């Protein structure tokens, strides 16, 4: 019974309709988003497949759109009983900040910071876990990517001036 309710949630129809509307916009705007100025006829050209694809998405979304506009009596917004995703949103925010961290703080500091804050957020915050895991993972990533695989990481924009300043101080 709960499974049936889950499957019939209006959240599905909303998500399907959003995809359908997106496909409609893309279908209409495709001729401008695809450079079809080449000499090939339409059936060999780069536009035919995207048009088929967006029509397919739109066709798949039509039942969702219909149900969203005309919901049945039993329809509800109940999804799965797992509540709202505030914690997930915060972790997602951290994930978005992580690439910026790579750019400004570098691999080591941003990895350590990410793990420290994320572990605290998900309540894996015993002293042992909070000290050992971020350091251990940071070391593993550093050794693996920088040492063994020799991957280039951007020079941290915020750390470099601090380093230079510290070097200057030491020289003095």
Interacting residues toward another protein by CB under 8 A: 6-7, 9, 11-12, 15-16, 19-20, 23, 26, 33-38, 40-46, 48-50, 53-54, 56-57, 59-64, 79-80, 82, 85, 87-88, 91-92, 95-96, 98-99, 102-103, 107, 111, 114-115, 118-119, 122-124, 129, 133, 137, 141, 145, 149, 151-154
Least CB distance from residue 144 to another protein, whole Å?
A: 8
What is the distance between the alpha carbons of residues 119 and 123, in angstroms, rounded to a whole number? 6
State the burial class of residue 85 (Cβ atoms within 10 Å of its Cβ: 0-12, 13-18, 19+): exposed
Least CB distance from residue 47 to another protein, whole Å?
A: 8
Measured from the CB atom, the residue of 33 and 131 that comes closer to another protein is: 33
Measured from the CB atom, the residue of 152 and 171 that comes closer to another protein is: 152
What is the distance between the alpha carbons of residues 124 and 131, in angstroms, rounded to a whole number? 11
Spatial contact of 87 and 122, defined as CB atoms under 8 Å apart: yes
Spatial contact of 156 and 105, defined as CB atoms under 8 Å apart: yes
Measured from the CB atom, the residue of 121 and 166 that comes closer to another protein is: 121
Least CB distance from residue 161 to another protein, whole Å?
A: 21
DSSP at 43: G
Least CB distance from residue 74 to another protein, whole Å?
A: 17
What is the distance between the alpha carbons of residues 131 and 166, in angstroms, rounded to a whole number? 26
């Amino acid at each position: 019974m709960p499974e049936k309710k889950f499957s019939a949630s209006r959240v599905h129809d909303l998500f399907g309709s959003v995809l359908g509307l997106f496909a409609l916009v893309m279908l209409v705007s495709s001729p401008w988003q695809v450079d079809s100025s080449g000499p090939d006829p339409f059936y060999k050209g780069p536009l035919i497949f995207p048009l088929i694809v967006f029509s397919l998405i739109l066709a798949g979304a039509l039942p969702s759109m219909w149900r969203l506009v005309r919901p049945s009596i039993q329809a509800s917004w109940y999804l799965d009983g797992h509540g709202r995703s505030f914690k997930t949103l915060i972790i997602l925010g951290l994930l978005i900040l992580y690439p910026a961290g790579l750019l400004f703080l570098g691999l080591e500091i941003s990895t350590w910071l990410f793990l420290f804050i994320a572990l605290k957020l998900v309540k894996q915050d015993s002293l042992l876990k909070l000290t050992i895991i971020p350091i251990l993972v940071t070391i593993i990533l550093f050794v693996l990517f920088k040492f063994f695989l020799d991957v280039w990481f951007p020079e941290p924009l915020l750390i470099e001036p601090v380093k230079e300043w510290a070097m200057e101080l030491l020289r003095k």
